[in-house]
Amino acid sequence: MLIHPFEPVYDARSRILILGSFPSVKSREEAFYYAHPRNRFWKLLAALFNETPPESVREKTDLLLAHGIALWDVIHSCEIQGSSDASVRNARANDIPALIARTRIRRIYTNGSKAHELYKRLVYPINAVSDVPLPSTSPANAACSFEALLQAWQCIAEALKT
C-alpha cells in the first residue's frame, strides 16, 4: 500500500482545484506533481496563461498560485503497479471536502478518466460538488494532441475570468 507522498498546493486565493489520480513513479521520486518529462501538464498550464513553462518546483507552485489554482490528487493511498492508473486497487481518497471547506475553491476539474471515476465514486458522495472531467495530460494519452488538450482545458482559464 502506497501513501500519497506530498501535500496539496493551494493558498487563500485558490478558486479552482485540479485533481489527478495518484503520483507517477517519477513524481513520487521527485516529490512533486507531474514530474515525468513527457507529461504535458506544465506545458499546458503555461500555454493557457501565455507564460513560459515552469521548470522548478518553485516556478510550478508560483504558476498555480498566481492563477488561483489548487492542485492535488484524488487518492490518499492505494495499491498500484508502477504508474499505471489501470492497476489502482484499494484506493482511499484524500480529504478533498476538508480542503474545499477551508478555501475559496468552487470548481473542481479532474485530469483524466481515472481521476474522474475515482472522484465520482469516493469523493462526490461526501461533498456533492461535481467535477469537470478533462482529457489526461499523461504521455499514456498520446492519442490526444497538445492542441486538443489546450482546447479542452481552456475552460479552466475561462472559469478563472469570472
* Residue 89: per-residue pLDDT: 95
Taking the whole predicted model, whether its pTM rises above 0.95 is answered as yes
Neighbouring residues of 52: CB distance < 8 A, sequence distance ≥ 6 = 46
Taking the C-alpha atoms of residue 5 and residue 8, their distance in angstroms, rounded to an integer, is 10
Cβ atoms within 10 Å of 55's Cβ, excluding its own: 9
Q: Per-residue pLDDT tens for 140-162?
A: 898 999 999 999 999 999 999 87
> How confident is the model at residue 25, as a pLDDT?
95
In the structure grid, which three cell numbers stand for residue 11, read together? 493558498
pLDDT at 74: 98
**pLDDT tens by residue, 59-73:** 999 999 999 999 999
> Per residue in 2-48, pLDDT tens?
999 999 999 999 999 999 999 999 999 999 999 999 999 999 999 99
Identify the CATH number of the domain defined by range 2-161: 3.40.470.10
Give mean pLDDT, residues 80-86.
Answer: 91
What pLDDT shows up at residue 50?
Answer: 97
What phi and psi values does residue 151 have, to the nearest 5 degrees? -65, -45
Task: Find cell 498566481 and name the residue.
Answer: 66
Please give the average per-residue pLDDT across 91-96, as a whole number: 97
